[in-house]
Chains A and B, each alone.
Chain A
């Protein structure tokens, strides 16, 4: 924990010198991490050690990607302590100064670790041409050159997470059951600093590479303040770490890129796979270098594909991975494939109708309009085939209640929640999907009543939902579509209460049963984000209490 007495300033103006290498191949980088986090603001230094450690571990888990090799500093070597001490002693700290301290304290040890593994890592850099040359075919050598070794020595990076903003609020409130409920919101602002180790003839320098920032919030309602605080914090920290994972993948040096080796219709084959951490349904932009009439080279994008099958190139280096084209351009072998990192989830925004009915012949309860949101977590990586999601959705709508005894109509509100499994079938820009799961339905009818007493009639039910839809992909991270859902569920249990009397009365076997069975049709907009301000699923779980 880098928590000095003096103010630590992380100057935000980092020299962002990134070579936008749009073609070529990804070469493995090696990463060193410190189990530390820089606390770069007074508010962040109020965090407990437990929270700081948790954040550091979350970031470590997220940033430890398969595309990297690791140069872990030996535990108990005192290197980290030495680094921390120097940081604390510094009068004023900017990223250049941190880089210098790194170089002075532990980079020589990183170089030693790299050196131990250099031959094995360099052998992975021997290209196909070199593997066909005399040195490997006849001389049976690994074919490693000094250039390969230097590339390995120059592929070392160090990352250091930082937090430059932290806040938490706690609200205690007694609920209807006279229980105390503690609501905590926690907000973390921070990011990750990346440094690059340069090696030249035995001399090392560390230079700041870039900074990625994110912010994240967590929310929890629990019976105890501590539980609530911790649940909100872990939700925020995990989301913060996940955002940083995508941000790390977005760094040009770390983006996976390779050549398309095979093209069959909309299917492409490429030589990356499990070794680099390619996952089913990952997105990759395809494109090519184009030379203008004045000789300028530029990278021209031509559609994108998602990964359908991941080749196991750890056991068989030649095994290809395959992708299915979504926006399919005029593709040919040799074109470049560049990773387009996103969070492994889609967010749906919807508008349309929901089914609602009532069993009483003398009354009518009719849905008018509903809006909905859904988050679909991609689970294809675990399933092994593309297009599988776990979805969690919520819909809110309004309805109108009428009956023969009333001249006027009553307003009603609807809230539907469902958790489903969804399978999407992509055919170029179009994708059809089917889904099925469990649903919760809630309806409440508000009656202004007489004598200024408002009555609320509430009905809840559990049931199911099946459905399907059709989407049109607009670009890399957006799609629109139409969905049809068929809900089934009903309940004749109503809770009635008025605002004059806190007591609720529950009526079972009410003559008027609410029928949620029926079709819903909605227009939907789908967005695949690179970062989220909070994790909806964690928030829902934390609020479910």
Chain B
């Protein structure tokens, strides 16, 4: 009897689950392909939708129109799901965001809500196939999604932190954009002299400014030498002018790119295809955050168009990785690169004392630290500090100066460079 009862209960549970699954707003197919970023706030997606009919009996046949509508709705849900959670660069990146979203995903994927994110969808289906004896309909449809609206709604729902909030807290990352320069070449000169590279920079900068990032444009390379001479650690990378420039102007992240245009003839027309490789680096460490190559279609169009098309193909993914990095980095605090160079006029013991004092001070005042280089006379540290305690780099400088003065009363602290990312100090003997 009890076995029968448990069987009935199990069956009821299964049926309830099935009924719930049937009514779920979550996408059935979860298949989508990114086509292009048609602008800073929109992406074009080919999404697959599944319309499913569960026959109640063998004579219960699906209504075609209903099945089609279900498949279309599922394609919309799959497209939004792809933007939120799918692909290599989803909108929701942290575990916290995903967790918050899972609590309200049913209402988020409701038909009425999802529709407002669809800026446009094709009248035609890329594919339409009946499956499972006609009880399933699989369609593929092209649609353009308003990602900005999705993002704003997620912020309003408390799933994501608003970019404005991030900006208030720390500011969005400052990004510098320069072409990839071979060793010994000056990227600024390359930018000035090559219209193709200039166009590339303009497109990326347009993308960034439309997304409210601060874009830093280096005008000249003077002053780099002094920066290099201040630190032994930088001497190793002095040939990477782009990195040095990014450090010198205080960019949080810098983007490099290169553009290749290939041409051939179709009939009497020349068709061009652009391949644009975009790389994003963390400035302080020159760590590669993301790299993507974007391709344009082969077109009988002017170079500028295929360049922009190629960049559109790549930049969105790279930006997503910058954002993911930035969010993660913010959770650790505000990052600074601190370089202190003690004059060799001091003997080794004095220099060591001051450097030890400094490392202790940095460990104490920072949420997290990372030692890059510590030599007899040089210290190169990455620190993450609480942005409320140290809102500006000058606050850190002030503390470091006090520490140095305490350790070396006869020392004179000279500020070589100080910006929102980098603090380079030189300690000379008075």
Given contacts A114-B267, A141-B301, A334-B125, contact A263 B44 (CB under 8 A): no
CB contact between B128 and one of A138, A141, A289 (< 8 Å): that residue? A289
A139 CB within 8 Å of chain B: yes
Q: For residue B267, which residue of chain A has the nearest CB?
A: A115
Q: Do the beta carbons of A128 and B308 come within 8 Å of each other?
A: no
CB distance from A520 to the nearest CB of B (A): 43
B299 CB within 8 Å of chain A: yes
Residues of A within 8 A of B128 (CB): 23, 259, 288-289, 334-336
B38 CB within 8 Å of chain A: yes
Given contacts A114-B267, A133-B36, A149-B266, contact A289 B300 (CB under 8 A): no
Q: Do the beta carbons of A145 and B39 come within 8 Å of each other?
A: no
CB contact between A289 and one of B38, B130, B269 (< 8 Å): that residue? B130
Residues of A within 8 A of B142 (CB): 128-129, 132
Q: Do the beta carbons of B122 and A129 come within 8 Å of each other?
A: yes
* Interface of chain A residues 124 through 142 with chain B (CB within 8 A): 128-129, 132-135, 137-139, 141
Residues of B within 8 A of A202 (CB): 265
Cα of A291 to Cα of B134 in the assembled complex, Å: 9
CB distance from A319 to the nearest CB of B (A): 13
Q: For residue A145, which residue of chain B has the nearest CB?
A: B297
A49 CB within 8 Å of chain B: no
CB contact between A129 and one of B35, B64, B131, B264 (< 8 Å): that residue? B35
Residues of B within 8 A of A138 (CB): 38-39, 308
CB distance from A530 to the nearest CB of B (A): 29
Q: Which of A84-92, A188-196, A325-333, A387-395 contacts B (4 or more CB under 8 A)?
A: A325-333
Q: Do the beta carbons of B44 and A129 come within 8 Å of each other?
A: yes
B124 CB within 8 Å of chain A: yes
Cα of A332 to Cα of B64 in the assembled complex, Å: 6
Cα of A21 to Cα of B273 in the assembled complex, Å: 30
Cα of A129 to Cα of B127 in the assembled complex, Å: 14
A119 CB within 8 Å of chain B: yes
Q: Do the beta carbons of A132 and B144 come within 8 Å of each other?
A: yes
CB distance from A423 to the nearest CB of B (A): 32
Q: Which of B122, B129, B267 has the most CB of A within 10 A?
A: B267
Given contacts A118-B267, A263-B65, contact A149 B308 (CB under 8 A): no
B231 CB within 8 Å of chain A: no
Cα of A144 to Cα of B63 in the assembled complex, Å: 39
A18 CB within 8 Å of chain B: no
Given contacts A129-B142, A132-B38, A263-B65, contact A271 B271 (CB under 8 A): no
CB contact between A291 and one of B129, B265, B300 (< 8 Å): that residue? B129
Cα of A139 to Cα of B264 in the assembled complex, Å: 22
Cα of A289 to Cα of B122 in the assembled complex, Å: 19
Cα of A334 to Cα of B297 in the assembled complex, Å: 27
Q: Do the beta carbons of A134 and B312 come within 8 Å of each other?
A: yes
Cα of A144 to Cα of B127 in the assembled complex, Å: 22
B268 CB within 8 Å of chain A: yes
Cα of A121 to Cα of B264 in the assembled complex, Å: 20
Residues of B within 8 A of A133 (CB): 35-36, 38, 44
CB contact between A135 and one of B67, B127, B129, B309 (< 8 Å): that residue? B309
Given contacts A149-B300, A330-B64, contact A111 B309 (CB under 8 A): no
Cα of A202 to Cα of B297 in the assembled complex, Å: 20
Contact bitstring A486-498, B, C-beta under 8 A = 1, else 0: 0000000000000
CB contact between B123 and one of A139, A153, A201, A261 (< 8 Å): that residue? A261
CB distance from A138 to the nearest CB of B (A): 7
B305 CB within 8 Å of chain A: yes
Q: For residue A111, which residue of chain B has the nearest CB?
A: B267
Residues of B within 8 A of A118 (CB): 266-267, 269
Cα of A147 to Cα of B120 in the assembled complex, Å: 25
Q: Do the beta carbons of B269 and A149 come within 8 Å of each other?
A: yes
Tally of A interface residues using CB under 8 Å: 42
Residues of A within 8 A of B35 (CB): 129, 133
Given contacts A134-B39, A261-B123, A291-B131, contact A115 B268 (CB under 8 A): yes
Residues of A within 8 A of B305 (CB): 135, 139, 141
Q: For residue B131, which residue of chain A has the nearest CB?
A: A291
Cα of A288 to Cα of B130 in the assembled complex, Å: 7
CB distance from A131 to the nearest CB of B (A): 10
CB distance from A154 to the nearest CB of B (A): 11
* Interface of chain A residues 331 through 358 with chain B (CB within 8 A): 331-336
Given contacts A138-B39, A141-B301, contact A132 B267 (CB under 8 A): no
Q: Do the beta carbons of A128 and B68 come within 8 Å of each other?
A: no
Q: Do the beta carbons of B130 and A135 come within 8 Å of each other?
A: no
B181 CB within 8 Å of chain A: no
Residues of A within 8 A of B301 (CB): 135, 139, 141, 144
Contact bitstring B290-304, A, C-beta under 8 A = 1, else 0: 000000011111000
B247 CB within 8 Å of chain A: no
Residues of A within 8 A of B131 (CB): 290-291
B382 CB within 8 Å of chain A: no
Residues of B within 8 A of A261 (CB): 123-124
Q: Do the beta carbons of B309 and A134 come within 8 Å of each other?
A: yes
Residues of B within 8 A of A51 (CB): none
Cα of A482 to Cα of B129 in the assembled complex, Å: 40
* Interface of chain B residues 45 through 90 with chain A (CB within 8 A): 61, 63-65, 67-68
Q: For residue A288, which residue of chain B has the nearest CB?
A: B130
Contact bitstring A303-320, B, C-beta under 8 A = 1, else 0: 000000000000000000
Q: Do the beta carbons of A135 and B144 come within 8 Å of each other?
A: no
Residues of B within 8 A of A137 (CB): 38
CB distance from A262 to the nearest CB of B (A): 9
B139 CB within 8 Å of chain A: yes
Residues of A within 8 A of B65 (CB): 263, 332
A252 CB within 8 Å of chain B: no
Residues of B within 8 A of A145 (CB): 271, 297-299
Q: Which of A129, A139, A141 has the most CB of B within 10 A?
A: A129
Write 26 A-B pairs (CB below 8 A) sorted by A numbering.
A115-B269, A118-B266, A132-B122, A134-B309, A134-B312, A135-B305, A137-B38, A138-B308, A139-B305, A139-B308, A141-B301, A141-B305, A145-B298, A146-B300, A149-B266, A149-B269, A201-B264, A261-B124, A289-B127, A330-B64, A332-B64, A333-B68, A334-B68, A334-B124, A334-B125, A336-B128
Residues of B at the A interface (CB closer than 8 Å) are: 35-39, 44, 61, 63-65, 67-68, 120, 122-125, 127-131, 134, 139, 142, 144, 264-269, 271, 273, 297-301, 305, 308-309, 312
The 8 A-B pairs of least Cβ separation, nearest first, read A146-B298, A332-B64, A115-B267, A146-B271, A332-B68, A330-B64, A129-B142, A334-B128
Residues of A at the B interface (CB closer than 8 Å) are: 23, 111, 114-115, 118-119, 128-129, 132-135, 137-139, 141, 144-147, 149-150, 153, 201-202, 259, 261, 263, 271, 288-291, 297, 300, 330-336
Supply 19 further A-B pairs (C-beta < 8 A) apart from A134-B38, A153-B266.
A111-B267, A128-B123, A128-B124, A129-B44, A129-B142, A132-B44, A132-B122, A133-B36, A134-B36, A135-B301, A138-B308, A147-B297, A150-B266, A263-B65, A288-B128, A291-B130, A300-B130, A330-B64, A334-B125
